[in-house]
């Protein structure tokens, strides 16, 4: 796809931008500037081609046929599982479960595993910066099991407040469910340290990697995560495909979340037995084309190198923080050090509602997100009902941030009192 040696940086930019046809579109006569990759990423032509090519030449259900098309489909599907295993540093491809998205993965963990190990009076530890998807499943399990939920708070600059860890240790929490990178604050949390802490207490860690796996090198064994989840559509892949990683010994003991076809070993009129990992958790016809396209997305990211992706975003974040802090009346949430945050900047402006900011930016062809970003408790703590959020990925460059800053300057003048 790309040479190993890129040469000048401008050549990288040219090669990447030509792979994303949507970025050639005009919005109201303005160049499209897409700054909402935290919600979903754009897709390169290589991924789009895989989807068309597979449906037009090799489409057949996986694992169920002994004819050529089915064998091709199964081989491609399982090859993607192997790619994902290597991409996140898993030990065994049976530790990779395909789901619809990170939300389904977290619900699977909570219901299939959390409901097995949580007992009355047990403690579950979350953080106040969690996405609703890593908060609500655990709250439901806690209600059903009469367990307790506790929260790690944040400091004034948007980092986790770990000064109370000794007090949390006394609770002996059974589970720590935590985001790797906040989808609002951009904060990168110290997962490896927290994994050691919870393991020393005899507990387990569940990591929401939706905002980390697409943007930085992630090694589940180095982190020592018991579970880690992410979504394909946030990392150049299609919608409708997600991944659940779990340590083999835990997955092997878990009951399936969904039952039906493919996930069984044998069914009689009186009893049933489950299939082996990973198929025990993949009931029904899976989104095999989505999984295969996600494999191509991983190929694309590997060609760039995840170190390059991470450093590219760090440079953009540093540039954006310097530029945006010059906008009068702006307030940026989260750490102001690019080493401690991912490519996410949430902000508010004096006298302007975030929805108005997003609407006016759209008139200049700039796409950002406004709202509570499925993190209402965090926004309550921040003292605002909503924020505007700009997020960056491999196809963004400094001129996108220049355009964002110029447009925000116009918005400030429009609303200045």
Does residue 197 lie within any of the structural domains? yes
- How much is the pLDDT for 61? 81
Examine the domain organization and report whether 54 and 203 are in the same domain.
yes
Catalytic residues: 374
175 pairs with which residues across the strands?
124, 204
For position 13, which CATH number holds? 3.90.1150.10
d(CA 124, CA 141): 10
- How much is the pLDDT for 257? 80
Does residue 240 lie within any of the structural domains? yes
Does residue 2 lie within any of the structural domains? no
d(CA 174, CA 126): 11
d(CA 184, CA 387): 8
Residue predicted with more confidence, 1 or 218:
218
Examine the domain organization and report whether 107 and 220 are in the same domain.
yes
Last residue of a domain, one of 272, 303, 334: 303
d(CA 235, CA 139): 28
Last residue of a domain, one of 303, 322, 345: 303
163 pairs with which residues across the strands?
none
Examine the domain organization and report whether 225 and 310 are in the same domain.
no
Last residue of a domain, one of 253, 276, 303: 303
- How much is the pLDDT for 379? 98
The average pLDDT across 264-287 equals 78
Tens digit of pLDDT for each residue in 371-383? 999 999 999 999 9
d(CA 204, CA 76): 33
Does residue 147 lie within any of the structural domains? yes
Examine the domain organization and report whether 343 and 263 are in the same domain.
no
Q: Which of 56-60, 242-246, 254-258 has the highest mean pLDDT?
A: 242-246
Examine the domain organization and report whether 229 and 310 are in the same domain.
no
Does residue 343 lie within any of the structural domains? yes
Report how many helices (DSSP H) and strands (DSSP E) the chain contains, helices first: 15, 17
- How much is the pLDDT for 97? 96
Provide, rounded to the nearest whole percent, the portion of the chain with pLDDT above 90: 81
Examine the domain organization and report whether 244 and 320 are in the same domain.
no
Residue 40 DSSP code: -
Predicted confidence band at 283 (pLDDT cuts at 50, 70, 90)?
confident
Q: Which of 109-113, 211-215, 257-261, 293-297 has the lowest mean pLDDT?
A: 257-261
- How much is the pLDDT for 399? 97
332 pairs with which residues across the strands?
347
Does residue 1 lie within any of the structural domains? no
Examine the domain organization and report whether 224 and 324 are in the same domain.
no
Does residue 115 lie within any of the structural domains? yes
d(CA 92, CA 357): 46
For position 109, which CATH number holds? 3.40.640.10
Number of domains in the chain: 2
Strands (E), 272-411: 272-274, 330-333, 344-349, 366-367, 369-371, 387-391
Does residue 3 lie within any of the structural domains? no
d(CA 284, CA 269): 20
pTM for this prediction = 0.93
Question: 252 is in which domain, residue-wise?
Answer: 49-303
Going by C-alpha positions, the residue among 167, 175, 171 that lies closest to residue 142 is 175
Examine the domain organization and report whether 86 and 195 are in the same domain.
yes
Examine the domain organization and report whether 89 and 133 are in the same domain.
yes
Provide, rounded to the nearest whole percent, the portion of the chain with pLDDT above 70: 95
Examine the domain organization and report whether 116 and 143 are in the same domain.
yes
Examine the domain organization and report whether 329 and 278 are in the same domain.
no
On whether the CB atoms of residues 178 and 151 are closer than 8 A, the answer is no
Examine the domain organization and report whether 285 and 408 are in the same domain.
no
């Amino acid at each position: 796809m790309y040479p190993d040696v890129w040469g000048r940086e401008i050549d990288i930019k040219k090669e990447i931008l030509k792979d994303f046809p949507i970025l050639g579109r005009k919005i109201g006569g303005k160049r499209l500037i897409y700054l909402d990759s935290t919600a979903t990423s754009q897709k390169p032509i290589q991924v789009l081609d895989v989807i068309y090519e597979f449906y037009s030449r090799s489409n057949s259900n996986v694992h169920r046929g002994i004819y050529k098309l089915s064998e091709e489909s199964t081989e491609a599907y399982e090859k993607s599982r192997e790619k994902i295993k290597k991409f996140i540093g898993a030990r065994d491809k049976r530790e990779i479960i395909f789901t619809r998205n990170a939300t389904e993965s977290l619900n699977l963990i909570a219901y299939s595993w959390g409901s097995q190990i949580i007992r009355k009076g047990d403690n579950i530890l979350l953080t106040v910066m969690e996405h609703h998807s890593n908060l609500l499943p655990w709250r439901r399990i806690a209600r059903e099991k009469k367990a307790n939920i506790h929260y790690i708070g944040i400091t004034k600059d948007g980092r986790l407040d770990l000064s109370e860890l000794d007090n949390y240790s006394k609770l002996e929490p059974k589970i720590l469910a935590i985001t790797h990178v906040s989808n609002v604050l951009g904060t990168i949390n110290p997962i490896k340290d927290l994994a050691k802490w919870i393991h020393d207490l005899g507990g387990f860690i569940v990591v929401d990697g939706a905002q980390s796996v697409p943007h930085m090198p992630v090694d589940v064994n180095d982190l020592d995560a018991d579970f880690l989840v992410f979504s394909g559509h946030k990392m150049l892949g299609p919608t409708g495909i997600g991944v659940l990683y779990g340590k083999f010994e835990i997955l092997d003991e878990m009951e399936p979340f969904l039952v039906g076809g493919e996930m069984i070993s044998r069914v009689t009129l009186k009893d049933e037995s489950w299939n082996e990992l990973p198929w025990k958790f993949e009931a029904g016809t899976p989104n095999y084309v989505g999984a295969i396209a996600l494999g191509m997305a991983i190929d694309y990211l590997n060609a760039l190198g995840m170190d390059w992706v991470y450093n590219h975003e760090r440079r953009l974040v540093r540039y954006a923080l310097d530029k945006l802090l010059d906008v009068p009346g702006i307030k940026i949430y989260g750490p102001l050090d690019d080493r401690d945050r991912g490519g996410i900047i949430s902000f508010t402006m004096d006298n302007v509602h975030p929805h108005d900011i997003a609407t006016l930016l759209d008139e200049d062809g700039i796409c950002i997100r406004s709202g509570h970003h499925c993190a209402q408790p965090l926004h309550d703590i921040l003292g605002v009902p909503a924020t505007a959020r700009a997020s960056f990925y491999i196809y963004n460059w400094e001129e996108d941030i220049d355009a964002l800053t110029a447009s925000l300057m116009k918005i400030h003048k429009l609303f200045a009192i």
